[in-house]
A = this chain, B = another copy of it.
Amino acid sequence: MSNTIYDIARQAGVSIATVSRVFNESPNVSSKTRKKVQNVAKEMGYQPQGMAQGLARRKKNVIMAVVPLLSNYFFLQVLNGIQDAISETNFELHIYNVKSSEKPVDQLKRLLGRRWADGYLFVSIHLSDSEWKMISQFDQQMVLIDDAYSACNYFQVNNKQGARKATRYFLEHGFKRIALITAKEESIPAAKRRQGYIQTLTDWGLTPDESLIVSGDTQYRDGFNEENGYEAMQKLLEQTPNPEAVVCMSDIQAIGAISAMKEQNLSLPIIGYDDIQLAKYIGLSTMRQPMYKMGKEGTNVLLDQIGKDQPKVVQKEYIPDLILRSTSSQQN
């Protein structure tokens, strides 16, 4: 069960070139030999070894999705889109995740050098422009999802606008003391959403109150986790007066926050972020990000560009939609 092209060739009484030809669907094989080879191969459970093929062809037929941490609902949706796009092709999808213990850019450099794949999807990998520049120098095909760099393909959603929309909604409904449950300070999307929130308040003639911008202390997944939301809400509820409404940076934090409110028999209006699948079922109002769509479109672009030498770069920015359900109103 551990045979090579030589074993098949010998067994079928042909040369290895012929075996190779039938596996590569070359037309230049008589249907008789083809049949024979196929039978032998099937019988012996033979498949060409991927690595040998990759080396010989200088093409691997794999695309690699690089993600920071798999344990995140956001990625799940993106990956769904990626998978659906890939499954229509004969490419394989391999997923690689960067560890938090080492600088992402260093990990990427090492990874790209190894040439595992024909193309790379970087999902929610946030690098500086100079870092992305380094990465582009490997000249591998790639597309960024949920980040942007001027010289690359990217699919991104406007974080500032997302936070603005949520904040504006509450302002328009008469709320003034609007809290923001944020994530890890260093998170780039978090920083942008925070800006959007602050600008919106300012535009409205209000002075942003730093004490209403909080995050929990639990920091894994950059703070985008249930416990973080729970802790953040506890901090908010210690303040008097309480905030009148709260904007979150993820649905998952909103769930934690709601749990903290329930413990105190409160239910302030709250808006999450992402629109993960279960948001609908708990009535969570939220900023919807087109996660599936980004994954699918990004993958299609990548697939399309593989093989071409000077593909034109495609860049797209989405604006998140405000999905109103029950948690955003006063009497939820």
- Which A residues are within 8 Å of any B CB, using their own CB? 1-2, 45-52, 54-55, 60, 70-71, 76-77, 79-80, 83, 87, 92-97, 99, 101, 109-110, 112-116, 137-139, 225-226, 230, 252, 255-256, 258-259, 262, 277-278, 280-283
Interchain CA distance A94-B104 in the complex, whole Å: 17
Some 10 contacts from A to B, beta carbons below 8 A apart, are A1-B138, A1-B139, A49-B55, A51-B54, A51-B60, A70-B79, A70-B83, A87-B99, A226-B277, A256-B281
Assess the B226–A281 pair: CB atoms within 8 A: yes
Checking B95, B115, B255, B277 against A49 with a beta-carbon cut-off of 8 angstroms, the contacting residue is: B115
Least CB distance, A60 to chain B, in whole angstroms: 7
Residue of B nearest to A2 (CB): B139
Interchain CA distance A79-B75 in the complex, whole Å: 13
Which 10 A-B residue pairings sit nearest by Cβ, starting from the closest?
A47-B113, A95-B95, A259-B281, A50-B114, A51-B54, A94-B94, A51-B51, A49-B115, A1-B137, A51-B55
Q: A50, A51, A94 — which one has the most chain B CB atoms within 10 A of its CB? A: A51
Assess the B76–A114 pair: CB atoms within 8 A: no
Residue of B nearest to A50 (CB): B114
Given A83-B70, A282-B259, are A45 and B109 neighbors across the interface (CB < 8 Å)?
Answer: yes
Least CB distance, A162 to chain B, in whole angstroms: 22
Interchain CA distance A97-B255 in the complex, whole Å: 29
Interchain CA distance A83-B70 in the complex, whole Å: 9
Checking B70, B113, B116, B255 against A46 with a beta-carbon cut-off of 8 angstroms, the contacting residue is: B113
Residue of B nearest to A110 (CB): B47
Interchain CA distance A277-B256 in the complex, whole Å: 11
Interchain CA distance A115-B54 in the complex, whole Å: 12
Taking CB atoms, residues of chain B closer than 8 Å to A47 are 109-110, 112-114
Taking CB atoms, residues of chain B closer than 8 Å to A252 are 278
Least CB distance, A13 to chain B, in whole angstroms: 22
Interchain CA distance A50-B280 in the complex, whole Å: 44
Least CB distance, A307 to chain B, in whole angstroms: 16
Least CB distance, A24 to chain B, in whole angstroms: 14
Checking B51, B256, B280 against A116 with a beta-carbon cut-off of 8 angstroms, the contacting residue is: B51
Taking CB atoms, residues of chain B closer than 8 Å to A283 are 259, 262
Residue of B nearest to A41 (CB): B113
Interchain CA distance A150-B160 in the complex, whole Å: 55
Least CB distance, A37 to chain B, in whole angstroms: 15
Checking B52, B76, B256 against A71 with a beta-carbon cut-off of 8 angstroms, the contacting residue is: B76
Given A45-B137, A71-B76, A71-B80, are A282 and B282 neighbors across the interface (CB < 8 Å)?
Answer: yes
Assess the A226–B2 pair: CB atoms within 8 A: no
Interchain CA distance A54-B225 in the complex, whole Å: 38
Taking CB atoms, residues of chain B closer than 8 Å to A112 are 47
Taking CB atoms, residues of chain B closer than 8 Å to A110 are 47
